[in-house]
Amino acid sequence: MSVNQEIQKRRTFAIISHPDAGKTTLTEKFLLFGGAILTAGAVKSNKIKKSATSDFMEIERQRGISVATSVMNFEYNNTLITLLDTPGHKDFAEDTYRTLTAVDSVILVIDCQKGVEEQTYKLMEVCRMRDTPVIIFVNKMDREGKYPFDLLDELEEKLKIKVRPLSWPISVGSTFKGVYNLFDKSLYTFTPGSDKKPEGVAITDLNDPMIDQLAGQYATQLREDVDLIEGVYGDFDRSTYLSAEIAPVFFGSAINNFGVKEMLDTFIEIAPNPGTRPSDTREVLPTENKFSGFVFKIHANLDPRHRDRIAFLRVCSGKFERSKFYHHVRLDKDMRFNNPATFLGQSKSIIDEAYPGDVIGLYDSGNFKIGDTLTEGENLMFQGIPSFSPEIFKELINTDPMKTKQLDKGITQLTDEGVAQLFIMGGGTRKIVGTVGELQFEVIQYRLQHEYGASCKFNAMNVYKACWVTSSDKSKLDEFVKFRQHQVAIDKDGLLVYLADSQWMLDQMIKNHPEVEFHFTSEFKRKTVNI
């Protein structure tokens, strides 16, 4: 089969949401339909009764939340699907932002009771920045919530995107009967609490008496709602979805299997195939003959028994082959990988080849950083995978001097994963950890203890923002570093970082040192520095 034929078979997407909207439950229903799992775990009252497939870290099982992106591959209706289940908690948003660089589309989960929440808005902003096509799934329709038409208005107003319903609920709350698929004109009714794969009834005419039989007293309201939708929203145009101008909307209840199959069936029909990716030299087409790909995530100790370190790579073009040499652009050296793998949460399977859209795991001995590019020889670097300035800064304090080596190794590996950023001060004697949320420090402390046997604590610091500093005039940069040496650190790539203690002080530094450039994301590194 040709590369182009393989591309047509593939769909790569991420599921995103505000915490507790039902994202992980929806993920498991997808896996259930694809035959990847036999029964789905349930998350009830914030306590996991049965560990979710995609939440494999011990701390995730204890807290009942996802704190790291999980990669899952499965096949459904002759389509090879790569699904990335992202953290919903805002403290781990940066992992989600990076994940969005590796997918071609997104499913955004909304709680019908709460509507658009803060994290929902922020995630949609990232999708809009990249013109990523979005499908919206309004979840928990079996609970009392907002009126569906009110939800549509809220989605358009708060997310600043036009919507078009492609399924519609038959009643809501305790009387929820199922959904009518506006895309393929079929009606689905289900039994609450069932994991069976539902079958729809084809309805070619809304006046079909079968609707009255299946929807009962809610049949008339369904007909009126569908007429209103067709009149207000018009016909669905796939091209406007692919250009991220319109977001198709589906309604259902993931935990009860209502409305999930309709969305999955429609998704594989309308979602984009693997697309082009920007690099520092040109646009890379998936149909090109030569392989290329980039690392968007690194995870140490995926299997604590083996202390492995996995770099997750998105294949962008050509064909990846096991045991073949590929060029590591940043390190300017050739490498080969004897055991590349695909994943289902924590489980992994060795593969011989991979194609554009696939996400594969490469065993890594420390050669990879997030954003690294592999090619068949061409010197290009994929772009759009930056680190942002953290929001909270704390000094790492070793509480067990006998485990100093373990602590150093652990914090280096964890920050390489991107869960936090590491800044070194005082000639290496002080380690500053920066994150976007408090919960990340708890995760780091837990993982250092349980994965590396290192004990530590964190002391708060009065730091407002971290800015990378560069200058074409070395003397001016040296002068700045000498002037603010108590606030200058180096990051793990050896680049200078200014730790400003306030917005006012940062403004003064920018004003008083015009020859020095202040960068607020790490994207400049790939453009100006060979790190």
Strand 10-17 with 79-85, pairing = parallel
Choose the weakest-confidence range: 22-31, 200-209, 308-317.
200-209
Tell whether the torsion through CA atoms of 121, 126, 127 and 129 is positive or negative. positive
Higher pLDDT, 310 or 7: 7
Give 289: exposed, middle or buried? Use CB within 10 Å, 0-12, 13-18, 19+. exposed
- Residue 224 to residue 490: CA distance in whole angstroms: 63
User: Do 175 and 218 touch, CB atoms closer than 8 A?
Assistant: yes
- Residue 298 to residue 27: CA distance in whole angstroms: 21
* Domains of the chain with bracketed CATH: 3-270 (3.40.50.300), 281-375 (2.40.30.10), 392-528 (3.30.70.3280)
Using one digit for the tens of pLDDT, what is the confidence trace for 397-455? 999 999 999 999 999 888 887 778 899 998 888 999 998 778 889 889 988 998 889 99
- Please give the model's pTM, rounded to 2 decimal places: 0.79
Using one digit for the tens of pLDDT, what is the confidence trace for 231-277? 999 889 999 999 999 999 999 999 888 888 889 999 999 999 999 99
pLDDT for position 197: 56
CA terminus-to-terminus distance, the chain: 38
Using one digit for the tens of pLDDT, what is the confidence trace for 476-519? 999 999 989 899 999 988 899 999 999 999 999 999 999 999 99
Does the pLDDT at position 526 exceed 50? no
232-262 exposure pattern, b = at least 16 Cβ within 10 A, e = fewer: ebeebeeeebbebebbbbbbbbbbbbbbbbb
Using one digit for the tens of pLDDT, what is the confidence trace for 320-371? 999 999 999 999 999 999 999 987 755 778 999 999 999 999 998 888 888 8
DSSP conformation letters of 389-454: PPSEEEEEEES-GGGHHHHHHHHHHHHHHTSSEEEEEGGGTEEEEEESSHHHHHHHHHHHHHHH--
- Of all residues in the chain, the percent with pLDDT exceeding 70 is 85
pLDDT for position 304: 56
Q: How remote is the C-alpha of 298 from its chain's centroid? A: 13
Choose the weakest-confidence range: 177-181, 420-424, 462-466, 478-482.
177-181
Using one digit for the tens of pLDDT, what is the confidence trace for 284-298? 999 999 999 999 888
- Residue 43 to residue 115: CA distance in whole angstroms: 20
* Average of per-residue pLDDT values in the chain: 84
- Residue 128 to residue 172: CA distance in whole angstroms: 30
Q: For helices 260-270 and 23-33, give the axis angle rounded to 10 degrees.
A: 70
pLDDT for position 198: 57
User: Do 169 and 137 touch, CB atoms closer than 8 A?
Assistant: no
pLDDT for position 147: 92
